[in-house]
Structure 1
Amino acid sequence: MSTPPLGLRDFIAALPREGRWLLSTVAIQLLGRGMTLPFTIIYLNEVRGFDLGLAGTLMGLIAIVGFVVTGPAGSLIDRFGARPVILGGLVCAIIGDVVLAFAATPVLAAVALCLLGVQAGVSWPAANALVASVVEGELRQRYYGVNFALINLGIGVGGVIGGLFVDVARPETFTLAFLINAATFTIPVLVLLGPLRHTHGRAARPSADEPHATASYATILRRPEVGWLVVVGVLLATLGYGQLESGFPAYSRQISEVSTRVVGFAFVVNCAVIVLAQFWVMNRVSGKRRTRVLIATALIWAFAWSIFGATGLAPGSVAAIVGVVAFQGIFFAVGETLMQSAFPALTNEMAPDHLRGRYNAINSASFQTGAIVGPILAGFLLEHGQSTMFIALMVLGCVGIAAGSIQLERRIPPAVNGVRPPEPQEPASL
C-alpha cells in the first residue's frame, strides 16, 4: 500500500515534539553558514593577504580535521548520547567563527578553521543519530529529506545575502558576516539546552550475550553490508559534493568557458530546485527500496555528467551556458534529493540503536573521504589537460554507485531497505 502524499503542514503535524524543535533550527543555523561558506577563501586571500596557495591549504583543514574527529565522535555518541556531542561541536563552531573574524595571522586562521572542522566532523553523525532516536519509521526518511531541503534553503539564502553584503573593499563586512554566523549557531544551542534538554539521543545498551551488544569499528566494517555502504558513500561523495566546489567550477571556467556569474547562478538554481522538489521526490520514493532510489540517483548523475561534458564541445556558447546550469541546477539537484532521502535513512535502519553513533560516523567518514579525494582527482586531471578522462571517470563512478547499490540490496533485509510489510488481509466472510 502506498503512503498518501504529505505536504509540509501534514509532515510537521506528524512529527513528535522533539522532531519539530530539531527541524526549527536548521535553516536559521545554515543561513549564517551560507553567508561565509563561498567567501572564506576570498577573505583569507584578499582581505587578510594570505597567498592563494596558503589560503587553499588552510581551507583544507576543515575536511582533514572533520575526517579525524568523526571516528571518536561516533564512539562518544554511543556512550554519552548525541546531544552533548552536538553541543560540543556547536561551541567549537561559535569560537571558530569569532576567532576567524579577527584572524590576522595564518596561525589564528588555522586554529579557527580546525575548530570549524571539529564541528563539521561531529555534526553529521550526531545530528543523524539524534534524529533517529526521536523520529521513527517512514517519517524518519521524510525528515532527512526535509532537513536537506532546509539546509539548502539556509545556505542558498545566506549565499545571496553574503554576496550582496560582503565587500573586499570593506573588510569589516567579512568580520560581521563571521560574527553573524557565530550568532546563528547559538540558536540550536539554546534549543538543546532548553526544550530538548531531556533528549539525550542515547540508546540503552543490550545485555552482553545479545548479538552485536558491543562492537568496535573494525567489527562493524567487517559486516559485508556495511562494506558496500561505505563503497557507495565514498562514490556518492567523490562524484557529488567532492566536485561541487572543485571539478564543477574548474571545468566550467576552463573547458566550458562560461563566466563566474553563470557558475554562481547554477549554484542558486541548484538550491532552489532542491527546496522546491523535495516533497515531490519524497512522496514518490516513499515505500520504495532505498537501494533502487540510489540506483536512480546514479543514472540521473551519469546523464548529468554526460551533458556537462558535452558543454566542452561548444565552449563559451549559449549551449554551454544552458548545459552548465542544467547540470548543476536541474539534473544534479534532483539526484541529490533522491540520495538524501535514501542514504541517511538506510544507514540508520541498518544500525542497532546502541551503535547508531558509530554507524553514522562511518557514513560521515565515507563522505569526508569523498570530499577529500574528489577535489584532488579533479585538480590533477584538469591541470594535466585530461578533461575527457575526468568526465569519463565521473560517468564510470556512477556505474559503480549502481553496482554497489545492487550488492548492498542483496545483503540487507527488505525492511531495512524501506519496504513495508504487506498489511494482513481480513478473512473473507462465508
Structure 2
Amino acid sequence: MLLVGLAAMIAGCTLLAYATHPAVAAVSLVLMGVNFGVSWPGFNALIATVVDGEIRQQYFGINFALVNLGIGVGGIIGGFFIDVDEPATFTTIFLADAAGQLIPMALLLGPLRHVRTQGGDDDHPDDGDAMSYRAILRRPAILWLTLLTFIAMFIGYGQMEAGFPAFARQVSEVSTQVVGFSFAVNTAVIVLLQFTVLKLISGHRRTRVMQVMALVWIVSWLILGATGLVPDSIAAAIGVLAFMGVFAFGETMLQPTVPAMYNDLASDRNRGRVNAVNAAAFQGGAITGPIAAGLLLGHGWHAGYIATMVVGCVAIIALAIALERRVPATANGVPEPSTPASPSPMPTPTSEPS
C-alpha cells in the first residue's frame, strides 16, 4: 500500500511540475492526496509491526520530531530556492519532490521487504468480526479515543491552517512575518523538546498525558486570546510567538501517545483499519476546524472563537478520563504488574543424629 501511495505521489508531483491549467493541477493534487490517505494508516501499521511496547511510543514521538524537522528544512530550502518570477524554480522543486519519493520506495523494496504486517489466520481466531469498521468502532476504547482524536485535531491542527493565522492577522494585528516566525518557533520547540518529553512521559498513563496536554493547550489559547487585547503591538507579537511555542509543547505529548494507544488496541489482522480510523478522525478534525474558524471569525466572534478552543480542551480532559476507565492498562502505557513468585516452602526440620 505504501508503494502504491508513493507511486501516486511521484505521478502527482511530476504532473504538478508541468501543470499549466487549474484542472491539471487539481488532478495532481488528488494524486498527492491519495498518497497521504494511504500512507498514514499504512506507515503507522508498519511501525507498529516493527516495534512494540514502550519503544513503540518512543518511536512515534521520534518520528513526529523528524517529520517536523523535515518540514522545517524543506521550507527553508524552498524559501531560498523558489523565485516567483522564475517558474522554472517551481518545476525543479516539484521534480525534486518526485525524485525524493524514490528513497522510501527503495527502503520498502530493500531492507523492509520482508516485514510482515498481516497476522496469520490462526494468530487471532476471535477477530473475525473485527475486520469491519463498524465492529472496530463498537469497541468502547477505540470509540472514545476516536472522539478524543477528532476534537484534538479540530481545536489543534485544524486551526493551524486557517483559524490561528486569521486571528493573528485580524485580531492581534501582527505582521505576516510574525506569523511565519511563529511556525518556525513551533517546529523548533518540537524538535528540541520531543526527546525530553518522551523521557518524562515514559511509564505514565497515556490518558493522564493527554489531560496535561489539554491543560497546556488551554494556556496557549488564552495567551493567543490575550494578544487581541493589545493589537498591533510588540506584546501582541510576543504573545503570538509564545502561543505557538506553548502549543508545540502540547503537541510533543499528543503525537507519541495517541497512535501508540491505537496500535496497542489493535491486532495484526485489523491494524490497518484501526490506523485508518485514526487517520479519518485526524483528517475530519483538520477539515472541519477551518470551517468553524471561518464562521466564528467571519462574524466577528473573536472571544467566542477562543472560548470554543478552550471548551474543546476541556472536552479532551473529560474524554481522557472516560477513556481511562475503558482502555486496558497495557494500551494506556502502564505495564501489567508482574505476579510475584510464591515463596518457597520452609524446609521441614529434621532431627539431627545424636
TM-score when scaled to structure 2? Answer: 0.94
Aligned with 1:412 (options 308, 318, 327): 327
Report if the CA contact (8 A) 2:5-2:39 is conserved. yes
Which position in structure 2 is the counterpart of 1:271? 187
Which position in structure 2 is the counterpart of 1:325? 241
CA distance in 2, matches of 1:356, 1:122: 14
Which position in structure 2 is the counterpart of 1:401? 316
Deviation at 1:181, TM superposition (A): 1.1
Which position in structure 1 is the counterpart of 2:337? 422
Deviation at 1:200, TM superposition (A): 3.7
Matched, 1:391 2:296: no
Q: Deviations over 1:137-174 (max 9, x none)?
A: 11010000000000000001111111111111111111
CA distance in 1, matches of 2:123, 2:257: 31
CA distance in 1, matches of 2:334, 2:222: 32
Q: Which runs of 5+ in 1 are unaligned?
A: 1-84
Aligned with 1:187 (options 84, 100, 103): 103
Q: Deviations over 1:14-50 (max 9, x none)?
A: xxxxxxxxxxxxxxxxxxxxxxxxxxxxxxxxxxxxx
Q: Deviations over 1:235-260 (max 9, x none)?
A: 11111111111111111111101111
Matched, 1:233 2:149: yes
Which position in structure 1 is the counterpart of 2:23? 107
Which position in structure 2 is the counterpart of 1:5? none
Give the 5 Å matches for 1:8-27. Answer: none
CA distance in 2, matches of 1:207, 1:290: 27
Give the 5 Å matches for 1:10-409. Answer: 85-206=1-122, 210-212=126-128, 214-328=130-244, 330-409=245-324
CA distance in 2, matches of 1:194, 1:226: 34
Report if the CA contact (8 A) 1:129-1:360 is conserved. yes
Secondary structure class of the residue paired with 1:313: coil
CA RMSD of aligned residues (A): 1.6
Secondary structure class of the residue paired with 2:290: helix
Report if the CA contact (8 A) 1:208-1:214 is conserved. no
Report if the CA contact (8 A) 1:290-1:418 is conserved. yes
Secondary structure class of the residue paired with 2:131: coil
CA distance in 1, matches of 2:89, 2:140: 51
CA distance in 1, matches of 2:310, 2:239: 16
Q: Which runs of 5+ in 2 are unaligned?
A: 347-354
CA distance in 1, matches of 2:123, 2:117: 19
Deviation at 1:208, TM superposition (A): 8.4
Deviation at 1:210, TM superposition (A): 2.1
CA distance in 2, matches of 1:214, 1:394: 34
Q: Deviations over 1:403-430 (max 9, x none)?
A: 1111111111111111013355577898
Report if the CA contact (8 A) 1:206-1:213 is conserved. no
Report if the CA contact (8 A) 2:172-2:230 is conserved. yes
Report if the CA contact (8 A) 2:5-2:38 is conserved. yes
Q: 1:170 to 1:419 in 2, by over 3 A?
A: same
Q: Deviations over 1:84-140 (max 9, x none)?
A: x01100110111011011111111011100001101111111100001011111101
CA distance in 1, matches of 2:251, 2:123: 39
- Counterpart amino acid of residue 329 in structure 2: P
CA distance in 1, matches of 2:276, 2:49: 15
CA distance in 2, matches of 1:205, 1:260: 56
CA distance in 1, matches of 2:186, 2:79: 16
TM-score when scaled to structure 1? Answer: 0.78
- Counterpart amino acid of residue 226 in structure 1: I
Deviation at 1:219, TM superposition (A): 1.4
Report if the CA contact (8 A) 1:289-1:419 is conserved. yes
Secondary structure class of the residue paired with 1:353: coil
CA distance in 2, matches of 1:240, 1:294: 13
Number of matched pairs: 345
Which aligned segments of 4 or more residues in structure 1 are displaced greater than 6 angstroms?
Answer: 426-430
CA distance in 2, matches of 1:419, 1:281: 17
Deviation at 1:206, TM superposition (A): 3.5
Larger gyration radius, structure 1 or structure 2:
2
Report if the CA contact (8 A) 2:61-2:194 is conserved. yes
Report if the CA contact (8 A) 2:129-2:135 is conserved. no
Secondary structure class of the residue paired with 1:256: coil
- Counterpart amino acid of residue 162 in structure 1: G
- Counterpart amino acid of residue 190 in structure 2: I
Secondary structure class of the residue paired with 2:32: helix
